[in-house]
Structure formats: C-alpha cells, structure tokens
Amino acid sequence: MDSTIRATNVAVSPRSLRRDIGLSGLLFASLGGIIGSGWLFGALYSAQSAGPAALVSWVIGGLAVLLLAFIYAELSSTFPLAGGVARFPHLTHGSLVGYSIGWVVFLGYIAVAPIEVEAALQYATNYIPWLTTSVNGVAILTAPGYAVAALLLLVFVILNLVGVKLMANTNTGIGIWKLVIPTLTFIIILAFAFHPSNLTAFGGFLPYGVKGVLSAISSSGIIFSYLGFRQAVELAGEGKNPQKNIPFALIGSVLIGIVIYVFLQLALLGAVSPSSLASGWAKLSYPGTFGPFAGLATTLGISWLAILLYIDAVVSPGGTGLIYISSTSRLVYALAKNRYFPKWLTSLSERGVPIWSIIVSFVLGLIVFLPFPGWQTLVGFISSAVVLSYGIGPVVLMSLRRQQPDLARPFRLGAAGFWAPIAFIISNLIVYWTGWNTDWKLFVAILLGYVVMAVVYALTPSTERPRLNLGNGIWIIVYFIGLAIISYLGSFGGGLGILPFGIDLLVVAVYSLIIYFWAVGQRLNDAESKEQLQELEA
C-alpha cells in the first residue's frame, strides 16, 4: 500500500505525537470516559423519566452506541489519527464538512471536563457545604467553589502536560477504581434490598410509554454516560498497535458499560422504598437524592458504602475530566492541523504533547464553569452535540469504502452497507429525542461556529486558507437546517407537536436516509481524498 495514505507511515516533523499508550491504556481511556458522573446521576433521572422501563432505555442506548463503536473501530484502525473524529470527514468531504463536524464535537467536548468537576463538587457539597449554593433549586458553584473547580481542572492540565504516558497510566489506575466501585455498588445494594413489586406496581413496567423510554435515552444522562467510548479514537495517534488495540478498546468498553449500567439501574429500581413511589416514578424522592446512590446506601443503613461512594464521586468524574482534557486538546490540535484554527495550536512540547491546545482547553474550561441551569440540562446539550457528530461516522465509512476500496482495513465492519444508514438514522433520532428546548441552543451554537469560521477564513492569508469544498459539503448545512425544523415541529422537549409521536420518528428516518445517500454521493473523488490525507500530515 502507498505509504502516503497511511497516517502511521508519514513523517511529520522532528517532534511528533508519541505512541506511548498500550492496550490497557486505550481500553481504560474509553471506559474511564464512559464511567463518570453519568453513573452517579443517570439511574435516578432515567427512573424518573421512564420508570422500570429505564432498563430498556439503557440497553437501547448502549446498543446504539455499540453500533457506532463498530463503525469507528474500522475508521480508527485504518487511520489512527490524533483527533480523528474531526479529521475523518475532512478526508472524505473536505473542509466545510470537516470544520462543521469539528466545531460540533468541540462544542460537546469542551464542556465535559468542567461538568464532571462540577458534578464532583455537587456531591461534595454534602460534607463541604460552601462549594455550591442553590438558586431556584439548581446547584451552582460559589466563588470559593469556582476556585476549587479551577484548581482541579489545573491538575488535569498538569498531568496532560507531563506526558501522555503518565496521563494514560494515571487514568488506568483511576479506571480500575471506577470499574470496581460501580460493580460493588450494584452487588451490595441488590443484596441488601430488592422489592420486585417496584417493577410493576406503580403504573406498570412502562408507566410513561415508549416516548418515556426514548426521552430518557437522550435527556436523562444515558447517552451522555456512553459517550466516552470514543476516547480511544481521539488518542489513536498515540496508541501502540492501533490496528488491533483500538477496536478492542472501543467495543470492549461499550460492552462493559452496558452491563454495569443495566445492573446499576436495576439496583436503584428495586432498592427504593415503595413508600417513595406513592406519587409515581416521576416524583421519586428519598433522603439524599442530591447524591442518588450514596443517599440510597445511607437510607439502607450501609454507611461504609455511602462513604465509599462520596469518595468515588470525586474519583469517577475526576478521571473522566482528566481524559476529556486530553481528548479536547487533541481535537483542537486536529482542527489546527486542518487549518481551521491557528497553526500555533499544533505546537508540541519536548514530551510530544500539544501544549498550547491543552492550555486553550483549560482556559475555555474555566469559562464553561460559569453557572449553568443544572447538570441534567447541560448533559442534554453535550449529548446532542456529540451524538450529532457521531452521525457523520457512517457517512465517512461508506464514502471511504468507495473512495479507497482496496485500502487495507485491519478491522472491517461486515454488512456495512446495511448498518451505516441504520447508524445514521439512530444518531439523528437521539438528537431529536433530546427535544427542542435543548436542540435550539445547539443549532444556534452551530450557527455561531460558521461565523467564527468566516472570520478566521477572512483573516487568514489566501495561500494558507483551506479549500472549502463547497460542492462536496453544502449538504451538511441543509442537514442541520432540516434537523432543526423537524425538532421544532416535533413532539419532544418543547416542540410544537405538529408532528405527532410515531409520525415524527418516521419523518426523522426518511429525512436521514435522504441526507445519507446525498452525502455519500457528494464525497471527494479518490485522488482528492488521498491528497487531503497528505495535507493533513504535511
């Protein structure tokens, strides 16, 4: 195979990203991203949204993400590029699509490390009350709390600046802890208390219907909890033996995550006192719901577990925040490599880490710490943004299959022609299920991104501007506009309800197929695609 079309064989500069992360590091990077604040809050919010059928929500969400993991396993093992999620679409459709998806991922990623720190401090408020205050029932950081949050974020930055190997080793240690504690939690809680009648007695297994199940996937932290699987994709440029290790890390982390989250949900559903359900699942409340599992452990008299959970409430979100500082900086690095952001953001330190990208991620993270309307609201925004970017994966996969059919693919998804459009439909449905109240903010932020793009493009010397490839990318603007209109007319999360439930799902599916086939048809030709990859590594 031509060495110019394999990222692993291209010499880029005297300093390059170092392949220091082994199989366990990649696996725990993805698993560490999956098990963060989502496991601390998601089971409670899902139970309130879907009742016992939240079990189904976790399975559907996990399988949806697993399908996307298979797609990215092929892409990342074929092209193990740092910040690959932003660079793959550049490869197949050029700069307009590459920037659009890169900006959407940026919107989602930049908020994750801060929200994980905020989640940890929210739990810690139970024993350090001055960290947060309540405003209209919403916990926000106090001034001292903001200082503590900034300090924690700075610790993540220092670990990343020291070097990716230390960062990965630190995260692996944290990842083992994060795997053990949730597992221990559902085993102990299931052993101490389980009321089978909870699953059927209070409105039945499906108290809020299919719509409640689907809404929970997007708005209750389920998809957010699984989002971290793609951390191995972002670190692919620094992974050892990426052709084999990346697929294992992606698929393995999602499968482990599904098992853990389903059992955690079952434990919470069965352990709550039936008296707490007198007003139904939507109003489920018990002492300590500010920290759901710790409060539940306290209610059951398992004090030692509650203490352990309060410790984990710092460790789990902290570990996720650590890895997201790393992945966000790699994304900024990738966008700069694509010439969407200033070139100086590609600078690497002597340890081979993108130093300025990490620092920029830290500064933007401090801005994100400003008060938000609540964990669940921000989680919905992050979920919608990142899942919207997931949707490009199936389009890229099939475009690359047609652009470079003879390219060696260490991991190859079977029946990709069938699974790719299905995955694209599922991604768009998840964004739609988030609801208009959240989606409108996302699409406004995307519009702002195009303004930023125009300004940067205008200020960049003509010889250094990337080609926009408008003919290959106009579909993505139509795609965003159409999805926004459907969300506005739909029946989820503040939509007008003009599209009734059932019909709206069919509309999303048909619209997705139209965009999917249009997008694959608008791919770059083979020669242009190879030229784009050479430019990425120039």
In a domain, 14, yes or no: no
CATH assignment of the domain containing 222 = 1.20.1740.10
Share of the chain above pLDDT 90, in %: 36
Q: What confidence score (pLDDT) does residue 127 get?
A: 77
Please report which confidence band the pLDDT of residue 7 belongs to, taking 50, 70 and 90 as the band edges. very low
Query: Rounded to whole angstroms, how far apart are CA atoms 211 and 491?
Result: 10
* pLDDT of res. 536: 55
Q: State how far the Cα of 92 lies from the Cα of 514, in Å rounded to an integer.
A: 18
* In-domain check, residue 4: no
CA distance 391 to 420: 9
pLDDT tens-digit map of 122-164: 778 777 888 888 776 566 788 888 888 889 888 878 877 775 5
Q: What is the DSSP letter of 135?
A: E
Say which DSSP state 285 is in: -
Flag whether pLDDT at 381 surpasses 90.
no
Within-domain flag for 3 = no
Answer yes or no: is 13 within a domain: no
Could you tell me if residue 60 is inside a domain?
yes
For residue 14, is pLDDT > 50?
no
| pLDDT at 351 (0 to 100) | 67
Mind giving me the DSSP string for 76-134? HHHS--TTHHHHHHHHHH-HHHHHHHHHHHHHHHTTHHHHHHHHHHHHHTTT-GGGEEE
Flag the least confident range among 221-235, 422-436, 447-461.
221-235
pLDDT above 90: residue 121: no
Mean pLDDT over each residue of the chain, to the nearest integer: 83
Q: Mean pLDDT throughout 262-287?
A: 91
Is residue 3 over pLDDT 50? no
Is the pLDDT assigned to residue 486 strictly greater than 80?
A: yes
Give me the pLDDT at residue 13, please: 41
Instruction: Indicate whether 50 belongs to any domain.
Output: yes
Q: What is the pLDDT of residue 170?
A: 55
Question: Does the predicted model carry a pTM greater than 0.85?
Answer: no
Classified as helix, coil or strand, 141 is strand
Q: Is residue 30 part of a domain?
A: yes
Q: Is 475 a residue whose pLDDT tops 60?
A: yes
Q: How far apart are CA 349 and CA 399, in angstroms?
A: 35
pLDDT for res 373: 46
What pLDDT is stored for residue 12 in this prediction? 37
**C-alpha span between 362 and 384 (Å, rounded):** 23
Domain-embedded: residue 49:
yes
Count up the domains in the chain and report the number. Answer: 1
- Write down the pLDDT at residue 77: 79
Residue 33: is its pLDDT beyond 80?
Answer: no
- Of residues 382 and 487, more confidence is placed in 487
Which of 110 and 396 is assigned the larger pLDDT?
Answer: 396
Phi, psi (degrees; rounded to nearest 5) at 132: -135, 165
The whole domain housing 314 covers: 21-536
